[in-house]
């Protein structure tokens, strides 16, 4: 490679050998759960803001039971 030449990677380039199949079922399940919970944590303040503090608190308390 000469000076100024840039090596580009293809979008479809495969992973290096030996890294295939390293994700376990437990890791995949935990990833999905954390994604769902993270989205909920972001959505709750917005929902309470839209419903109003009192109604938002009542709905949150009702949903927790």
Short-list 24, 64, 26, 16, CA closest to 44:
64
CA distance linking residue 2 with residue 24, whole number of Å:
42
**Domain range annotation of the chain:** 25-64
Q: So what's the pLDDT on residue 52?
A: 93
- Judged against a pLDDT cut of 70, whether residue 46 lies above it is answered with yes
Q: So what's the pLDDT on residue 50?
A: 93
Q: So what's the pLDDT on residue 51?
A: 92
CA distance linking residue 56 with residue 60, whole number of Å:
6
Average pLDDT, rounded, for the chain: 81
- Judged against a pLDDT cut of 90, whether residue 16 lies above it is answered with no
């Amino acid at each position: 490679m000469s000076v100024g030449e840039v090596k580009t990677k293809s979008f479809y380039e495969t992973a290096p050998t030996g890294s295939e199949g390293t994700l376990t079922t437990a890791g995949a399940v935990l990833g999905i759960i954390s994604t769902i919970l993270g989205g909920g944590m972001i959505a709750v303040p917005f929902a309470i803001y839209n419903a109003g503090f009192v109604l938002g608190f009542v709905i949150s308390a009702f949903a927790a039971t």
